[in-house]
Chains A and B, each alone.
Chain A
Amino acid sequence: MSAPIALRGWSLWRARLFATPLDSAISIAVLLGLGVILQPLLIWAIANASWSGSTRADCSPGGACWVFIKARFGQFMYGFYPEPERWRPNLFGALVLTWGLAVLMRGTPRRGLIALVGVIVLPFLGLWLLYGGFGLREIETRQWGGLMLTLVLTYYAALIALPLAVILALGRRSRLPFLRLLSIIFIEFWRGVPILTVIFLASLLLPLIMPSGVGVDRLARAIIGLGLVIAAYMAEAFRGGLQAVPGGQAEASAALGLGHWRTTAFIILPQATRIALPALTNETIALLKNTSLVLVVSIFDLLGIAQAALADPTWVGFQVEAYVFAGAIYWVLCWALSALGLLLEARMAEGRERT
């Protein structure tokens, strides 16, 4: 292939926007349309916006009141998590990030070991850091909230969902008819009902089917509900991956003398995961977005705390600011997740080229 002619500056834009008269007309129409939509938005969000101050009196009408976000920032991030203890979620977040970076970096020694230890240890470490006990002050889950809670919900629900999804996907392709039927029923049931009803279900029915006196934490209920649904969706992603692994792989592995379980664990699953990765990333993003539904059972995640802040008499009437801010944070998180997905895909493809 010949290298494309490198266009720069004005000539690039001319080629993009004004190549033909028709193109020019379209470009001008679209630009005008964008201007009509974006101009008032920018004026509201930036030009006329109020940034400094601490009360609603500091906000000028006609522009966004970012003061509101600033005043409530701590709550948007941590909910009612006590201020002197906020280093704990921060530390946990930093640990997970460091671990993730270490696993992704090529130069890290003993990457496999670090990855494994992190997968097993971090969730428990996180529980201890966030909830407390064993020397740390106990902080009940009802005090958790905001962005921190959104991330906690996503992290732990995904942690429940991934292994369950693998089991379900294998079950759905099992040669044992009863297990296959069970997996199909489980998957199709959870995929067939709205997540909102599942969250209601978990919040109303879980306490009922437990022996009296055994309580399940509110947050744990929401996590279980979300985890079950996402597991069903992820199972379908894994199934797609499993189906795409060529049959010869299993045969070759059997010929090498590997048993059924070892073939599945070391030959089939890694390849299936690589193929399923884009779909899995999408499901994780869906999970992150759906955590916002917990606000219907009065758990204050990022969106919930934004709404709760609106009920505060001192900050009534800043709906738009609250939703724009929450929406922007969700967008950044989802974007980061999909970028991570792409990175992982590239990594796994590299591994494939080597072999």
Chain B
Amino acid sequence: MLALWRDRRVRDILSQVGVGLILVGLTVWFVLNASANLRQAGIASGFDFLGRTSGIEVAFVLTDYTARSSIYDLLVVGVVNTIVVSLLSIVAATLLGFLIGLARLSRHWLIATVAGVYVEIVRNIPLLVFVFFMYGGVLAALPGPRDSFIFFGISALNNRGFTIPVPVDGALMRLALLAVTLSIAAHVVLALVSKKRRDATGQGLPMGVIGAVLLVLFPLGALSFATLMSTWDIPQLRGFNFRGGFVLVPEFVALFLALVTYTAGFIAEIVRGGIASVPKGQLEAARALGLSPMTTLRLVTVPLALRVIVPPMTSQYLNVLKNSSFGAAIAYPEVVSLFMGSALVATGQAVEIIAITLAIYLAIGLAVSAFMNWYNARVALVTR
């Protein structure tokens, strides 16, 4: 018996089986307890509740949800809102983070110091404090509907949000946006083809002309056609507030600002580390070749730094996605506040709702990771 235990392979298998059994046992015990507790408490179970009418009004909806839609549609609204605020915050935080990261490396003492102080302050304060503070700040800074800031007579900014005109029938506009997206995609594909051809033959496609057509002329034409042909619902002040149009709610703005200022502090550090990691010899070589500072930055520093920057950046992007759940604290209707908040109380089915919410975050997270891994592989290849 003891000899058997001394055999490494047997020991390996036995110990794994042991851990497996303990885990299975624990899981079974938890599930049994849960089902007994649920039965005893008389709580309904199953996923039927997703089809029930939600009855919950939501102030920031990008789908065609109304209070008469199902709880499933409510979930979709939450997921869309989570993705929208995360994506926009990621883009803005990356830009601001790069700026601050570069500022920290500035030769100018004052700029570097101010950027350093910003990073030190931001990184040592909880995001939740930011969220509450921004929300209070946004509401305090904006006037009431009667004293709104009006832009070009068609949009209004006040403490109910930023109201902009929308087409009465969105079909044409959606079609135009789709066409623009396709033409941008076509440009990307052509640019890749052109690069490949240039690498092979030295002669690429005329990207200047193609770019002008696909990125500027066609989108402009399509959008102005759709704009002119649609009837517009222009917000007007009636009674309490502006009627009509689409409202970008202050909760969105506050959450966006909080996520951007907070995340930028972390991205700045990553960028600084990445740029600092570029070997000095590379820069000296670039200067010796007579490259201008801007060209050096574009062709030498950034590509080299990106190799170091991209992996930690991935986890920052995932953090933004997860941190968008802080919107629940200020009534931004994202997935936690709508689904784990309103829908959970309406149905009482905690287990199902929590499981769905977690699965959604894991799925989006996996998608982001996959994309960033793909990008990382691309950047890494540049080193040759």
Contacts and interface: CB of A to CB of B under 8 A. Distances in A.
B128 A292 contact: yes
A331 B130 CA distance: 12
A30 B366 CA distance: 42
Interface in B21-69: 23, 30-31, 33-34, 36-38, 40
A193 B329 contact: no
B19 interface: yes
Contact of B33 (A201, A211, A334): A211
B211 interface: no
Given A176-B16, A209-B33, A211-B33, A182 B23 contact: yes
A151 to B, nearest CB: 14
Contacts of A319: 132, 136
A208 interface: yes
Interface string A253-266: 00000000000000
B108 A23 contact: yes
Interface stretch (B119-127, B143-151, B181-189): B119-127
A80 to B, nearest CB: 21
B195 interface: no
Contact of A208 (B38, B324, B365): B38
Interface residues of B, number: 50
Contact of A212 (B36, B120, B340, B351): B36
Contacts of B40: 212
Contacts of A9: none
Contacts of B324: 194
Contact of A182 (B19, B34, B38, B354): B19
A305 B124 CA distance: 20
A194 B325 contact: yes
A30 B133 contact: no
B362 interface: yes
Contacts of A327: 125-126, 129, 133
A128 B133 CA distance: 37
Nearest to B117: A34
A179 B16 contact: yes
28 contacts: A16-B110, A176-B15, A176-B16, A178-B16, A178-B20, A179-B19, A192-B362, A192-B365, A196-B336, A197-B354, A197-B358, A205-B34, A205-B350, A208-B350, A209-B31, A212-B37, A292-B126, A292-B129, A303-B126, A303-B128, A303-B129, A319-B136, A320-B133, A323-B129, A323-B136, A327-B133, A331-B125, A334-B123
Interface of B: 12, 15-16, 19-20, 23, 30-31, 33-34, 36-38, 40, 108-111, 114, 120-121, 123-129, 132-133, 136, 318, 322-326, 328-329, 336, 340, 350-351, 354, 357-358, 361-362, 365-366
3 nearest A-B pairs in the assembled complex, by CB-CB distance: A334-B124, A16-B109, A289-B126
